[in-house]
Amino acid sequence: MLTDTHIHLDLKEYADDLPQVLMCSENQGVSRWIVPAISSANWARLPVLHQQYPNLYYAFGLHPWFLANETDQALIELELLLQQRPAGLVAIGECGLDGAIEVPMSLQITMLEKQLALASEYQLPVILHSRKAHNELLRIVKKFKLPPGGVWHAFSGSRQQAEQFIELGFMLGIGGVITYPRAEKTRKAVAKLPVESLLLETDGPTMPLFQRQGARNEPAYIPEVLMELSMLKQMSPDMLGEAIERNVEKMFRIPVQK
């Protein structure tokens, strides 16, 4: 049984058929999901989803893409939620840095640092978004004591960059990128990285797998990512899947599925 550790099931793209999406996912052996919020507007829906689907876990966070719509009040609300520690909450995120958007980097850094401070205080892992800002993100993460570590979501960097985050207790979210033959740098990096530092994710509804471009990404496709990863790692899919599920338990403190 597998886990999709990064899937935005709370978004409108799944609103019309979420029960069917989850049923299809379970039929493919993917019976647990972690949903990271992208804005404060999504937070209230996540505990409700966990009540409806107990194997759906979640994270509260502020994604860099949507910071223009957020205020300091969101950070106050975030801390109040962390104090309550509602059932199903396993991380802070999605947060991070993006060097390819118009949101001022100064604002991105300020909001990220405040979320990292909360992660340190409340002993939760962080789910990090990183695009064209890896070195700056690494510099900032090093400033905070984050014993639970976190996840570099949608990893598409180099082996050296990955190892720098692994040294800080982070794992890498491996998704559809590795199914693209042209993603040679990332495929080579993943092949050399320790299994103990890898997680599976789709980032649905976006980030489609190779030959699924233009279609909605779904958690049912996790076995395809696992199969590609098993070829890169030269391991059996069953053994690799079991090892990665142990990583899920370690990072998010939720039981391995039987």
185-206 tens-digit pLDDT:
999 999 999 999 999 999 999 9
Distances (CA, A) of 136 to 31, 106, 141, 184, 186: 35, 11, 9, 24, 20
Whether the full predicted model's pTM is greater than 0.85, yes or no, is yes
Q: What is the average pLDDT across 215-229?
A: 98
- Residue 258: its pLDDT value, please? 59
Query: Given its phi and psi angles, is residue 214 left (phi above 0), alpha (psi -120 to 50 degrees) or beta?
Result: left
Kindly tell me if the per-residue pLDDT of 256 is higher than 70: no
Distances (CA, A) of 148 to 75, 109, 232: 21, 21, 28
Q: What is the average pLDDT across 131-154?
A: 95
CB contact at 8 A, 109 and 132? no
Give percent of the chain with pLDDT exceeding 90: 97
Predicted confidence band of residue 257 (pLDDT cuts 50, 70, 90): low
Closest C-alpha to 127, from 192, 73, 201: 201
Residues 6+ apart with CB under 8 A from 241: 2, 226
CB contact at 8 A, 125 and 148? yes
Neighbour order of strands in the sheet with 56-60: 2-4, 30-36, 56-60, 89-98, 126-131, 150-152, 170-174, 198-200
Task: Report the alpha-carbon distance of residue 36 to residue 184 in Å, rounded.
Answer: 28
Residues 6+ apart with CB under 8 A from 34: 3, 4, 5, 6, 7, 56, 57, 58, 59, 90, 91, 252
- Averaged pLDDT of the chain: 96
Closest C-alpha to 129, from 191, 62, 176: 62
Predicted confidence band of residue 255 (pLDDT cuts 50, 70, 90): confident
Predicted confidence band of residue 141 (pLDDT cuts 50, 70, 90): very high
Q: Which two tokens stand for residue 199?
A: 């997680």
41-57 tens-digit pLDDT:
999 999 999 999 999 99
Q: Is 59 helix (H, G, I), strand (E, B) or coil?
A: strand
- Residue 145: its pLDDT value, please? 87
Give percent of the chain with pLDDT exceeding 70: 99
